[in-house]
Amino acid sequence: MEKIFEIKNVNLYYGEKHALKDINLDIYKKKVTAFIGPSGCGKSTLLRCLDRMNDLIDNCKVEGSIKYNDKELNQYDTLTLRSNVGMVFQSPNPFPMSIFDNIAYGPRCHGIKNRKALEEIVISSLKKAALYDEVKDNLKGSALALSGGQQQRLCIARCIAMKPDVILMDEPTSALDPIATLKIEELINELKKDFTIVIVTHNMQQATRVSDYTAFFMLGEIIEYNTTNELFKNPHNKKTEDYITGRFG
């Protein structure tokens, strides 16, 4: 299997605090990889390294090597990197614009002006995000008028419009109700045919439902990393077993 990210010996510091300790991990192409673990253990931090969103935080220092498609991350120009590695956030953050403009925003920023081209992109992204049928009559309506679950799918569509290779998802369903959560999980299963997905989740069952690989984090370290089946059926590490059996959370 092809590796799309190779993470070696990564240490991350927020000022004095050592947030990520000696991380070694490979992300495989067109697979869904899940990061699980208790709160505050570094999952989202590592996720944000992958599209260099941590660069926006003062006092954040990263050591070690992260390679994307065999090239070091900091050798990429951030704008190019982020058009290839997209991110969906924990609470939906649509722009205060119309649905159409939200999705067309990314392409427009990268120079696509042609009306027809934009329309095609918008419609295909909405279809891939399983939102098209619900909004097709109202593309000019405000994005803020959608429900929480619809807004999150809109953000996913917005991300897809950039035709990225990777979609990073930071607890995408934690702010949504169970039905919306289900819809998004179904979506992830569809999306992995075309995209590599890395998802941070608090919900272990979600990891078992959607991911192919799972990494278990604790206090800034990766305790165990394996295929999802293996990790949940035969955890090699006691701490992993304790976590997934609910002895601590």
Closer to other proteins by Cβ: residue 124 or 208: 124
Closer to other proteins by Cβ: residue 4 or 244: 4
CA 139 to mean position of chain CA atoms: 25
**Residues counted in the chain:** 249
Question: Dihedral of CA 186/189/192/194: which sign?
Answer: negative
Binning the chain into helix, strand and coil, the percentages to the nearest 5 are 40, 30, 30
Q: x/- contact string, 49-88, with other proteins (CB under 8 A)?
A: --x-x--x--------------------xxxxxxx--xx-
CA 102 to mean position of chain CA atoms: 19
CB 184 within 8 A of CB 149: yes
Q: x/- contact string, 94-113, with other proteins (CB under 8 A)?
A: xxxxx------xx--xxx--
Note whether 132 binds other proteins by CB under 8 A. Answer: no
CB 175 within 8 A of CB 92: yes
Rounded least distance, CB 106 to other proteins, Å: 4
Task: Give the binding-site size for other proteins (rule: CB under 8 A).
Answer: 32
Chain residues binding other proteins by CB under 8 A are: 51, 53, 56, 77-83, 86-87, 89, 91, 93-98, 105-106, 109-111, 142-144, 155, 158-159, 162
